[in-house]
Structure 1
Amino acid sequence: MHTTASQADLDLAVSEFRSAFSEIAKGAAAREYHREHLFEEVKTLSELGFGRLRVPKEFGGFDVSLPVLFELIAELGEADSNLPQIFRGHFTAVEVLRHTLPSDAATRWFTEISAGAIFGNAQTEPATPGAGYQLSTRLKHEGDNYTLSGRKCYSTGSLYSDYIRVAAMDDDDKHTFAVVRSRTDNVEHLDDWDGFGQRLTASGTTIFTDTPVEEHGIYNVNEIAAAFHAPFVQLIHLANLTGIARNVLSDSIGLVRGRHRTSLHGLADRPADDALVLGTVGRISTYTRTVNALLTSIVDILHHADQRFERGERDVEIYTESYVAVSEGQIAMIESVLASATLLFDAGGSTALRSGTNYDRHWRNARTLASHNPVTYKPHVIGDYRVNGKSPVNFYAT
């Protein structure tokens, strides 16, 4: 029996989250520089209830709105951008559970999440073609039990998780999801992610060998939930990028305030009085305001789509509009954040180049996030929808 969380409970939890974010931020640059994993940080956030933000209240969750969720994700991204990506698979799993599962399965998983369980992600496979591809990971039916076997890459967060939501093919060659335990001899985690950014997300290979599927662990995603799924997962990246933009702004301000040397061509004795340096910070501030405004606008669109879904409306077009809005935001936000991360070095001069400061992580992490669901295809997707009314291809509905 769960006690329903009150507004006071949520307010206290949010205050505790923000205190944790502040502590996390203090060591973020050094952790990434030395490649120190985030097990303690994930544990702290889990124990505070961060993972149950969107769990319905009847199961012990806070059931926050999407605007609250994405603002907190942005704040966490400002502290350490690795963490929102680690939790991306978890929040996506919660969202799919909200929209898909029958009551007995929902009770099982929401109860576990409220108790602190964290979900990881394992969907992508090496060397597979585009939308509609056949996964090599297969479900095997043995009596009343199921196992799965396969190899996944980019399995972000799974190393930190208790359960993993695995994409697989069933006996009818249809895409399905299966939930397995993360800590078992039948699951091998290879921390082999070698990307130059988001180094602590454990986005490496996971190998499943006759791994038992949990009770209530097999489910398919209905068409509407699938259409909601795509913009939701991308919006987590955009909230994370927003956090990076905020961090770049605060770092640039701190850099300029702390600088004493100026250039031969400087306009003032102190960089903090130099009009060109101040103008650079002003441009970073403008980019950050743009990113913040876009995030608020796009989250509001998805929030209203979610509310309509909760009222029982089943129009896929609701979510097509959300996908297009997220894609438009993706283009503008990526350009803004990458520009800000570069301008930081104009504001900081050679001081910003010292490896111990690790300021380059902002650009590397933003560039890595920008490479998910490649932005190069999004202008065409948007234009084809606006001109020809063609809805974006939705992998999750295949």
Structure 2
Amino acid sequence: MPGRAWLAGEGREQSVRDALAELRSTSADRDRRSTSDREAVNRLKRLGFGALRFPDTDGTPALDLPEAMSVVMDVAAADSSIAHAFRSHFGFLEGLLLTPASEARSTWLQRIAAGQTCGSAVTERATARPMEIESTLRPDGDGYTIDTEKYYTTGTLYADWLFLMARSEDRSLQLVTIPTLREGVELLDDFDGIGQRASASGGVRFTGVHIRKSEVEPLEDLPEVNRYRSSLQQLYLAALLAGIASAALEDARSFVLKRARSAAHGHADQPRNDLFVQQIIGRIAARATIARAGVLSAAAKLDRTFEALRRGDSLGDLLVEGAVEVAKIHSIVAELVVTSGDLVLETGGGSAVSRSTALDRHWRNARTIAAHSPMYYKSQVVGDAILNDTPPPTNGYF
């Protein structure tokens, strides 16, 4: 089974270890060059990273959510940008898991089993608020034509397929799914963020793209599934942050152990024996441990929501409780990991900020992910839920 193949199978464990080691060893160079890396993504595809939750014959995912998020954190510890590139695909597969059996569902599962991935093209920069859609499908012969530009299309540069949201002539929202190699689709490697530089979070330009009627469907109003998927997508961001915390710890440890010279007023001849350096490493380690444990705890809670949805059981307060739990964990993990990125630079004074070390990338990566969903809003929503039983908004950020 594709999901289990990541964890088991002849020679598979060694292949996974080798892939993560290669990803980790090339991470700093990718960041310095600010470039995408198709081969790194394709290697993870071949190993089944995009199919961790692939369903068994009875619909049970190969890995439960805590297991899947554990793998995501491991990949993010090797390179958070490359792990980030799979986020939209994970959400897409999760939607399929909660979709009734159909020919279309079977086709998509076959594609995913073969290692194909689906990216997103939803956000438009020119609208007043995020998630507002103005792109319009124009009737054209036996289908439609679209001219538009989307941004923050994380991972779509690497994907085989993409889904985009657009409006029909009557202004109703439509979901369009097409190959990324369709004529007129231009995948732009133009993300200019300070961090997550290889995540391919830039734009996609559509110029006279022809879309078949069979590739268009009305956007279904599935409030329960959409609430769950939104929470999962936020949990994925928290998992990326937890992976960064682990990477920051490993790089800080390696940096200190390689240093021979202490600070002029240090407490020991070697940095590894300096009391303050030891304290800093301990603080980074504590943050990494808490971040990982928090993500796994929230994943376990969200997994109960998923199973209730899959079985058609009564949800009760599971959806809201899951959303609040993820928001709590996400907000504190972001705070801890951004601070970890800062602490890494305290381990070596001036030498720690040399571009050759690339130690600053952990702070930049964490800060970039944390900015994706402003944490002060997260904390306010959590507080409102605790004080007034107000459910989180259903806007895709909770």
The answer to whether the superposition gives a TM-score over 0.5 is yes
Matched position secondary structure for 1:355: coil
- Note the alpha carbon deviations across 1:58-83, whole angstroms, 9 max, x for none: 49997321112111111110001111
- Which residue number in structure 1 is paired with residue 175 of structure 2? 177
Using the TM superposition, give the Cα deviation of residue 15 of structure 1 relative to its aligned residue in structure 2, in angstroms: 4.9
- Note the alpha carbon deviations across 1:100-138, whole angstroms, 9 max, x for none: 36511101111111112111111111132347x641122
**Deviating more after overlay: 179-188 vs 69-78:** 179-188
Matches within 5 A, 1:4-153: 10-12=7-9, 13=12, 15-58=14-57, 63-100=62-99, 102-130=101-129, 134-141=132-139, 145-153=143-151
Task: Name the CA distance, whole Å, in 1 between partners of 2:350 and 2:58.
Answer: 53
Task: Name the CA distance, whole Å, in 2 between partners of 1:386 and 1:6.
Answer: 37
Using the TM superposition, give the Cα deviation of residue 351 of structure 1 relative to its aligned residue in structure 2, in angstroms: 2.3
Distance 1:26-1:347 versus aligned 2 partners, 3 A rule: same
Task: Name the CA distance, whole Å, in 1 between partners of 2:176 and 2:226.
Answer: 16
Using the TM superposition, give the Cα deviation of residue 209 of structure 1 relative to its aligned residue in structure 2, in angstroms: 3.1
- Note the alpha carbon deviations across 1:182-235, whole angstroms, 9 max, x for none: 012221122221111111112112122343446465353411111111111111
- Note the alpha carbon deviations across 1:153-207, whole angstroms, 9 max, x for none: 1111111111011122244433342211101222112222111111111211212
Matched position secondary structure for 1:45: helix
Task: Name the CA distance, whole Å, in 1 between partners of 2:296 and 2:306.
Answer: 15
Conservation of the 8 A alpha-carbon contact between 1:59 and 1:110: no
Task: Name the CA distance, whole Å, in 2 between partners of 1:306 and 1:280.
Answer: 39
Distance 1:212-1:228 versus aligned 2 partners, 3 A rule: farther
The RMSD of aligned alpha carbons is 2.5
Task: Name the CA distance, whole Å, in 2 between partners of 1:152 and 1:61.
Answer: 34
Matched position secondary structure for 1:366: helix
Task: Name the CA distance, whole Å, in 1 between partners of 2:338 and 2:24.
Answer: 20
- Which residue number in structure 2 is paired with residue 269 of structure 1? 269
- Which residue number in structure 2 is paired with residue 303 of structure 1? 303
Residue type of the partner of 1:11?
A
Matched position secondary structure for 2:200: coil
- Which residue number in structure 1 is paired with residue 395 of structure 2? 395
TM-score norm. by structure 1 comes to 0.91
Report % sequence identity: 33
Using the TM superposition, give the Cα deviation of residue 327 of structure 1 relative to its aligned residue in structure 2, in angstroms: 0.9
Matched position secondary structure for 1:125: coil
Task: Name the CA distance, whole Å, in 2 between partners of 1:320 and 1:204.
Answer: 32
Query: Gaps spanning 5+ residues in structure 2: where?
Result: none
Task: Name the CA distance, whole Å, in 1 between partners of 2:60 and 2:50.
Answer: 9
- Which residue number in structure 2 is paired with residue 355 of structure 1? 355
- Which residue number in structure 2 is paired with residue 288 of structure 1? 288
Is it true that 1:241 corresponds to 2:244 in the alignment? no
Distance 1:369-1:7 versus aligned 2 partners, 3 A rule: closer
Task: Name the CA distance, whole Å, in 2 between partners of 1:369 and 1:261.
Answer: 34
Distance 1:14-1:287 versus aligned 2 partners, 3 A rule: same
Task: Name the CA distance, whole Å, in 1 between partners of 2:223 and 2:6.
Answer: 35
Using the TM superposition, give the Cα deviation of residue 346 of structure 1 relative to its aligned residue in structure 2, in angstroms: 1.2
- Note the alpha carbon deviations across 1:267-294, whole angstroms, 9 max, x for none: 1111111111111111111111111111
- Which residue number in structure 2 is paired with residue 231 of structure 1? 231
Using the TM superposition, give the Cα deviation of residue 17 of structure 1 relative to its aligned residue in structure 2, in angstroms: 2.6
Using the TM superposition, give the Cα deviation of residue 238 of structure 1 relative to its aligned residue in structure 2, in angstroms: 0.7
Distance 1:41-1:393 versus aligned 2 partners, 3 A rule: same
Distance 1:176-1:321 versus aligned 2 partners, 3 A rule: farther
Using the TM superposition, give the Cα deviation of residue 304 of structure 1 relative to its aligned residue in structure 2, in angstroms: 1.1
Distance 1:227-1:110 versus aligned 2 partners, 3 A rule: same
**Deviating more after overlay: 98-107 vs 111-120:** 98-107
Using the TM superposition, give the Cα deviation of residue 297 of structure 1 relative to its aligned residue in structure 2, in angstroms: 0.8
Residue type of the partner of 2:184?
N
Task: Name the CA distance, whole Å, in 1 between partners of 2:14 and 2:317.
Answer: 37
